[in-house]
Structure 1
């Protein structure tokens, strides 16, 4: 069994800063045009495939989940932080949000038409990313889509303070090279169909459009 003890620290960190995090994170409508276009393309691909609902894993306060629903998807959110889920349910009572981990989703095989992992995998130790991607492969229907968005780098391990409001919380974060992320995805049987790298001041962002073969 993989060691997922890191999840306790992630849960505690985001429970601590949940309210301030939710207040500070931009809604998708305020994102840059390229980021909005990528989300729209993902939604179109999933809609056209007709293969099932979409899980927004690491959904936080549910802003992106609600955006996906507004794009015509049957979307629900999953997050390891109970406080984040509580905020998401209050803000979007018409949508479903559950506490859970992307390392072991409480979903059946081939249940999903799509998965969105939007800045939600960077706390996962690199040696466990294959576990997460294998879980995405298991729960995606053949022909289903994954959109993965994360900061990429040269293999950095960052240990710093996640400071939102008056309650800083410790966390670990990782920035792997884009090629390594693509390799790990392919090793679990997923196919990277498109990859976009953007370079804001905070570091390069990688957007990966991925499909489970039929």
Structure 2
């Protein structure tokens, strides 16, 4: 599929993409649906970045699927899909990124969860 010239020009102008964690396909066979969806999103980030552009990705990490029933004093119904930081790095590599900086922050009150900030380039 050929990309229209105006989209190519816009795509080539991006040198940075910032994302606050994607939870929400040309996937390798055998991957779970969440990994396939994340890989597809990361591949799209890679596609829209100019060569050498940067991606800043940050988010909560873990190996669970929290389903809170209330937040900020109100009832809620949603699920979050946390993944370990190493899995995020591997998915970014699979999408063509090179992670240059990885900062992990532990949460003493919730050792099963953390926060990671990743800086990668296309």
Structure 1, residues 123-152: CA drift from partner, whole Å, max 9, x if none?
A: 393331001101100111111111100111
Aligned counterpart in structure 2 of residue 115 of structure 1, from 17, 25, 37: 17
Name the CA distance, whole Å, in 2 between partners of 1:208 and 1:194.
Answer: 6
- Identify which of structures 1 and 2 has the higher relative contact order when contacts are C-alpha pairs closer than 8 Å and 6+ apart: 2
User: Residues 35 and 91 of structure 2 are in contact (CA less than 8 Å); yes or no, is this contact kept in structure 1?
Assistant: no
Kindly indicate which of the two structures has a greater share of residues assigned to helix. 1
Aligned pairs for 1:55-204 (under 5 A) are: 108-118=10-20, 120-123=21-24, 125-153=34-62, 155-161=63-69, 163-166=71-74, 168-200=75-107, 201-202=109-110, 203-204=113-114
Instruction: Please report the TM-score for the alignment, with normalisation by the length of structure 2.
Output: 0.72
User: Residues 104 and 116 of structure 2 are in contact (CA less than 8 Å); yes or no, is this contact kept in structure 1?
Assistant: yes
Pairwise CA distance, 1:162: 5.5
Does residue 121 of structure 2 align to residue 211 of structure 1? yes
User: Residues 23 and 38 of structure 2 are in contact (CA less than 8 Å); yes or no, is this contact kept in structure 1?
Assistant: no
Instruction: Please report the TM-score for the alignment, with normalisation by the length of structure 1.
Output: 0.43
Change (3 A) 1:169 1:193: same
Secondary structure of 2:47's counterpart equals helix
Give the root-mean-square deviation of aligned CA atoms: 2.2
User: Residues 162 and 171 of structure 1 are in contact (CA less than 8 Å); yes or no, is this contact kept in structure 2?
Assistant: no
Secondary structure of 2:93's counterpart equals helix
Change (3 A) 1:115 1:170: same
Structure 1, residues 183-211: CA drift from partner, whole Å, max 9, x if none?
A: 00000101101101101235310110111
User: Residues 195 and 207 of structure 1 are in contact (CA less than 8 Å); yes or no, is this contact kept in structure 2?
Assistant: yes
Pairwise CA distance, 1:171: 1.4
